[in-house]
Structure 1
Amino acid sequence: MSMVGILLLAVVVVGALAIGIALQDWRPRHRWADRTGRACPDCGGLRMRTVVSGNRLNGMLECRACHRVWSPNAAGG
């Protein structure tokens, strides 16, 4: 291959990567991948349950690994 062919191939590859990255940012995230703010503040685990009770803990999240309870709306846990 000539030097022009190699340069053209490199430009096409870089352009394809740039388009792929732009499209990845444009598309919405899958529901299963949208876990921001849903990790346990203590252990980082993603297995949790919503507390259902008649007291002040109702609606909070509980980690199923370390049993920490936190508000899903509180910034920083």
Structure 2
Amino acid sequence: MPTPDLALRTVHVTRYIIPLREGGSLPALVEADDGFRYVVKFRGAGQGIKVLVAELIVGEIARFLGLKMPELVFC
């Protein structure tokens, strides 16, 4: 099993590309200072911050188990 590395990278959004019309967290596609594009989810969305925390926890568990997951970052 992979060694757990719980530190998430932080990226800075440089360009808002487009809102994604699906999802309760009002996600959007953005470009960051590392040149990559990310789907971001916003804290102020109707589902609240607990849903975002749950997604983070589940994503890290999946990564720890060796499942293919997009990289989770803070922005």
State whether TM-score is above 0.5.
no
Report which structure shows greater RCO (CA 8 Å, sep ≥6).
2
TM superposition score normalised by structure 2: 0.28
TM superposition score normalised by structure 1: 0.28
Larger strand proportion, structure 1 or 2? Answer: 2
* Rg (Cα) greater in structure: 1
